[in-house]
Amino acid sequence: MRVRVLGSAAGGGFPQWNCGCPNCRGVRAGTIAATARTQESTAVSADGEAWFLLNASPEIRGQIESFPALHPRGPRDSPIAGILLTNGDLDHCLGLLSLRESHPLTVYATDRVRRGFTEDNALYRTLERFHGQVTWRALEPGREEELVGPHGEPSGLAVEAVALPGKPPVHLMGRSPPDGEDNVGFRIRERATDRVLAYVSSVAAVTPAVRDALAGAACVFFDGTFWSNDELIALGLGGQRAEDMAHLPVGGPGGSLAALADHRGSRRVYIHINNTNPILRDDSPERAAVEAAGWTVAHDGLEIEL
C-alpha cells in the first residue's frame, strides 16, 4: 500500500490566514525552523493507479496538483477513485464542493456524516447536477467495506470504520444530539498483504475502541492537533481547551504520547497538527520528545510504503 500525505495540518493550515501566533509569524518570516503545511488529507493506493483520498480539504486543488499520481491521464479523467470522510468538519468536507467540474465522485462516509453534508445545504446542489454525480457508500462502524473504483472494480483495499470519541462538526452543534457515527477512524487493509493502515486523525481519548483500531496495524496515523490541553488559552487565542474541541493532546501525563507508549512495532505518525503546536518546530524539545518515542511528525508530501 502506498500512503502519501497531501496535507498534514489541522483546520486553518499552517500558517493560518488570521493567526499571528509565534509559530504562524515565524513560519511566514522564515525565522523559525518549520515548514508550512496545508490542511489534512492523505491519499492511499494499493496499485499506484487508483487512489483514495482520506478527507477532502479546502486546499484539495493544490494538493492534487502537488502529487502527479493524481493528475488526469486523459482529456477528462481522475485517478481519484473515491473519497473517505472521517467526520463532517468543514476542513474535511469542503474540498468536495471544489470537485464540481461534472465528474462522477464516490464518497465513503457514515450515514450521519453524509446527512450532515447533504441536508439543508444549498451548495450541495452543485454536486447534484446530473444523475449519479456523487455515489455515497455507507460506512457502518465494525463492518469492512470494499473500496472499489468508479465502475465497481476492486482496488485491492478494504476499509473498516471505527467509531471514535469525538463530536459533531462545529456548524452542526446543537442541531441534534451527538452520535457515535459523528467521528470515525479507518482501518484500511490491503487485501494482498493484509497490511493495515490505522487512520485516526481526530480523537478525544484513548479508549479500548481506539486501541482496537490501532491493533496490529503496520502504520498508525494519529491525532496530533495540540501538544497541551491549554495551548490556545496560553497563547491568548481563545478560551477553548483541547478537550473542549474533542482532541486528545500529544504531551503531558494524559496525552497520546504517554497513553500509546506501549504501542510499538508499527510506523507511527502524528497528523492534523494545529499551527500552535510546538512539534511543528524542527528544533523544539517537544519535537525531540516525539521523535525519541519513535513517532514521525507528518509533513505535506510524506510518503510511506507499507
Q: Taking the complex as a whole, how short is the minimal distance between the CB of residue 230 and Zn ion, in angstroms?
A: 15
Q: Taking the complex as a whole, how short is the minimal distance between the CB of residue 16 and Zn ion, in angstroms?
A: 5
Candidates 2-10, 177-185, 245-253, 272-280: pick the segment binding Zn ion (CB under 5 A).
Answer: 272-280
Encoded one letter per residue, x for contact with Zn ion by CB under 5 A and - for no contact, window 228-267 reads ----------------------------------------
Query: Residue count at the site for Zn ion (CB under 5 A)?
Result: 4
- The strand pairing partners of 109, in sequence order, are 138
Out of 275, 277, 287, 306, point to the residue binding Zn ion (CB under 5 A). 275
Residue number, 41 or 275, with CB nearest to Zn ion? 275
302 in Cβ contact with 43 (< 8 Å): no
Q: How far apart are the first and last CA of the chain?
A: 5
Q: Taking the complex as a whole, how short is the minimal distance between the CB of residue 166 and Zn ion, in angstroms?
A: 23
Residue number, 220 or 279, with CB nearest to Zn ion? 279
Q: How far apart are CA 160 and CA 141, in angstroms?
A: 7
Contacts of 77 (CB under 8 A, 6+ apart): none
Candidates 23-31, 121-129, 168-176, 181-189: pick the segment binding Zn ion (CB under 5 A).
Answer: 23-31
DSSP codes, 62-81: HHHHT-GGGS-SSSS--SEE
Q: Taking the complex as a whole, how short is the minimal distance between the CB of residue 295 and Zn ion, in angstroms?
A: 22
Helix H, strand E, coil C: the string for 122-147 is HHHHHHCCCCCCEEEEECCCCCEEEE
Judged on CB neighbours under 10 Å (0-12, 13-18, 19+), 174 is exposed
Q: Taking the complex as a whole, how short is the minimal distance between the CB of residue 275 and Zn ion, in angstroms?
A: 4
Encoded one letter per residue, x for contact with Zn ion by CB under 5 A and - for no contact, window 63-102 reads ----------------------------------------
- Binding of Zn ion by 32 (CB under 5 A): no
Residue number, 155 or 275, with CB nearest to Zn ion? 275
- Binding of Zn ion by 24 (CB under 5 A): yes
- Binding of Zn ion by 19 (CB under 5 A): yes
Q: Which residue is it, cell 499506484?
A: 48
Candidates 19-27, 108-116, 175-183, 261-269: pick the segment binding Zn ion (CB under 5 A).
Answer: 19-27
Q: Taking the complex as a whole, how short is the minimal distance between the CB of residue 228 and Zn ion, in angstroms?
A: 15
| Inter-axis angle of helices 90-98 and 111-118, nearest 10 | 60
Q: Taking the complex as a whole, how short is the minimal distance between the CB of residue 194 and Zn ion, in angstroms?
A: 41
Backbone angles phi, psi at 162, to 5 degrees: -120, 120
> Which residues in 37-47 are b (16+ Cβ under 10 Å) and which e?
bbbbbbbbbbe
Residue number, 27 or 220, with CB nearest to Zn ion? 27
Residue number, 27 or 306, with CB nearest to Zn ion? 27
Instruction: Kindly report the length of the chain.
Output: 306
Name the E strands within the chain.
2-7, 41-45, 51-54, 80-84, 105-109, 134-138, 144-148, 154-163, 184-190, 196-200, 219-223, 267-271, 295-297, 303-305
Binding stretches for Zn ion (CB under 5 A): 19, 21, 24, 275
